[in-house]
Amino acid sequence: MSDGNQWWQTKENDSVATKRELWKPLAERVGGFDLDPAAGCEPTPIADNRYTESDDGLIQPWYGTVWLNPPFSEKTRWYKRLVGQYNNGDVDRAVALATVDPSADWFHNWFSTADVLCFLDGRDWYLGQGDSPTFSTQVGVWNPTDEVTDWLQLQGTVVQPLHDNKQETLL
């Protein structure tokens, strides 16, 4: 059995692969992912192009439709980069995963800028960790298709934030 938040706080599972049952239907509904900038732990590549830890996806160019499941310990840097690249027009569409923590600065400053948020039902969206995590997962989508939003409504609670404020970022 998991020991509270220890499920995600160890070096061995800082980066955890997403189950195919989540990423594959989303990929089909956006016409595939062009880039996974935080790849490496999944058994099947999620995007056509990917950066692993040795590539340092935070300093590489981002483009097209992006899938992002960042390391748990570095969420803020990854979401800030995602929003900056989206606001700059380098990223056309993005789908990102996060733990559900609306009290966190990274959520208010970056993740909540998504056009659609989905608080997923259940907790079993990751591979290879034995017990289910002790936290819930959310999906953020920037520039969603109707098909993505419709599918997410079947997976959990969908919220479409009413905001026009895009964060200014220095990249």
Query: What is the structure's pLDDT at 72?
Result: 78
Output the pTM of the full model. Answer: 0.82
- The strand pair at 64-68 and 47-50 is best described as unpaired
Residue spans of the domains in the chain: they are 4-159
When pLDDT is cut at 50, 70 and 90, the band that residue 21 belongs to is confident
Q: How far apart are CA 104 and CA 84, in angstroms?
A: 19
60 versus 1: the higher-pLDDT residue is: 60
When pLDDT is cut at 50, 70 and 90, the band that residue 128 belongs to is low
CATH 3.40.50: does it fit domain 4-159? yes
Q: Are 47 and 73 in contact (CB under 8 A)?
A: no
Reported as a single tens digit per residue, the pLDDT across 72-110 is 788 899 999 999 999 999 999 999 998 888 888 989 899
Task: Decide if pLDDT at 134 tops 80.
Answer: no
135 versus 53: the higher-pLDDT residue is: 53
